[in-house]
Amino acid sequence: MDVERAARPLTQANHFEVRLTNMIREHDPTSKILMAHYRANYTNGSTAALADLIVNITLLRNTMSKEIVKLCELGKMPWLKIEGGHLTEASKRAADETFLSLGGRVFFTSVEPMKSRSKCPRRGWGELASELITFAKRAEDMASLWAAGENAVENIAAAIRKVPGFGGKGFRASASYCAHRKLCDRHDDRHDDRHDDRHDDRVRCTRYRGTPACKV
């Protein structure tokens, strides 16, 4: 199979550079840890709980250091909560305490934008914290888009790109959608397999200039 030729239509259609790999997401050790973390904390199918899930996925997809993943594996990673469109004060404190307890080692060092932020973690954490505060204001609206089901991937990706600091980073939409599908099937039988032929976990995408993405 010519993987470059197979990836080209996806790249052209989505304006992302796409690489095809033989990694099945469910077999990836890090993904298994993160999914267990989501399952342990996402306990119902309400819009509010889904908004919390989305913002926590966003936090992890923007950090992803081995130390952060280890906290998830040990059940010690805080679960951020949203109330009234804002991160709770307890969530902000817990996130900051996690950053300090790890000595700033929260960012994955191999891909952008985490790579750049890892070189100056205090500034990088300040940027991410500000982005998450803005993101949290839109999370409940995004949760409603997920619940609607119709064209969920496209709608949530469009909503994320409107958030300052998140323009073009469609991988968050796909990651959130995949986690939501796996966790919510038992809550909402409106989700069916109509998206399965549109999202293959073996597809890995990268933004231009190397930023990870997964929008198919």
What is the pLDDT of the chain when averaged over all its residues? 76
According to DSSP, the residues that pair with 13 across neighbouring strands are none
Q: Which residues of 47-60 are buried (b: 16+ CB within 10 A; e: fewer)?
A: eebbbbbbbbbbbb
In this predicted structure, the answer to whether residue 21 has a pLDDT above a threshold of 90 is: no
Q: Is the pLDDT of residue 194 over 90?
A: no
47-97 confidence digits (pLDDT tens): 899 999 999 999 999 999 999 999 999 999 999 999 999 999 999 999 999
Burial state string for 111-144 with b = 16 or more CB within 10 A and e = fewer than 16:
eebbeebbeebeebbebbeebbeebbebbbebbe
User: Is the CB of residue 107 less than 8 Å from the CB of residue 117?
Assistant: yes
pTM of the full structure: 0.70
Lowest mean pLDDT among 27-31, 55-59, 121-125, 200-204: 200-204
CA angle centred on 190, ends 184 and 196, rounded to 5°: 75
pLDDT at 150: 76
pLDDT band for 44, please (50, 70, 90 cuts): confident
Print the SS3 string covering the chain: CCHHHHHHHHHHHHCCEEEECCCCHHHCHHHHHHHHHHHHHCCCCCHHHHHHHHHHHHHHHCCECHHHHHHHHHCCCCCCCEECCEECHHHHHHHHHHHHHCCCCCECCCCCCHHHHHHCHHHHHHHHHHHHHHHHHHHHHHHHHHHHCCCHHHHHHHHHHCCCCCCCCCHHHHHHHHHHHHHHCCCCCCCCHHHCCCCCCCEEEECHHHCEECCC
- Provide the pLDDT for residue 11: 62
Higher pLDDT, residue 89 or 18: 89
